[in-house]
């Protein structure tokens, strides 16, 4: 188990959590709409420590779960299975991108695979555009 630190874009919300070095994705249509693509998530062991709860908006996406985001910067933070019917304590799946994950974290699970759209794959390398940060900014005329 690892101790991870996370925060939203503006820093109003900070989250600390224990979790394995395992990253997953959810292909369901609700995550796709919420994230703009698959949700990359880290399943927390126990309960995370959340600072800045007053900045979080919790949206009930079903009767048993809610999704939290920062009201100030809009950053998606977590999927939360609320305490009750399916989990006595409740469970948090943090948006992977808010965490300082090590490069050796393993991307090893996916759910709702039957809902994955066909376009969730890169075109073959010869026919796709790939740019570094510097190349992209330069293409926009932004000095680097």
Q: Which is nearer to Zn ion, 10 or 105 (CB)?
A: 10
Contact segment (CB under 5 A) with Zn ion among 42-50, 64-72, 85-93, 132-140 equals: 64-72
Pick the piece of the chain touching Zn ion (CB under 5 A) from 70-78, 90-98, 116-124, 127-135.
Answer: 70-78
Binding Zn ion (rule: CB under 5 A), the pick from 31, 56, 65, 77 is: 31
- Using CB under 5 A as the binding rule, whether residue 96 contacts Zn ion is answered as no
Is residue 28 a contact point for Zn ion (CB under 5 A)? Answer: yes
Does residue 61 interact with Zn ion by CB under 5 A?
no
One DSSP character per residue, 30-80 reads HHHHHHSSPEEEEEPEEEEEEE-GGGEEEEESSSSEEEEEETTT--EEEEE
CA distances from 140 to 59, 61, 134 (A): 36, 38, 10
Q: Is 46 left (phi over 0), alpha (psi -120 to 50) or beta?
A: left
Binding residues for Zn ion, rule: CB under 5 A, are 8, 10, 12, 26, 28, 31, 70, 72-73
């Amino acid at each position: 188990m690892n101790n991870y630190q996370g925060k939203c874009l503006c820093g109003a919300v900070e989250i600390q959590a224990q979790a394995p070095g395992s990253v997953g994705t959810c292909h369901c249509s609700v995550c796709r709409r919420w994230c703009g693509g698959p949700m990359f998530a880290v399943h927390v062991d126990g309960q995370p420590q959340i600072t800045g709860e007053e900045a979080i908006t919790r949206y009930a996406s079903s009767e048993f779960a809610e999704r939290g985001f920062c009201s100030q910067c809009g950053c998606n933070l977590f999927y939360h299975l609320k305490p009750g019917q399916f989990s006595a304590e409740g469970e948090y799946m943090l948006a992977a991108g808010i965490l300082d994950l090590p490069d050796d974290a393993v991307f090893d699970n996916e759910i709702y695979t039957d809902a994955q759209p066909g376009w969730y794959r890169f075109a073959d390398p010869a026919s796709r555009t790939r740019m570094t940060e510097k190349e992209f900014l330069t293409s926009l005329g932004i000095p680097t």
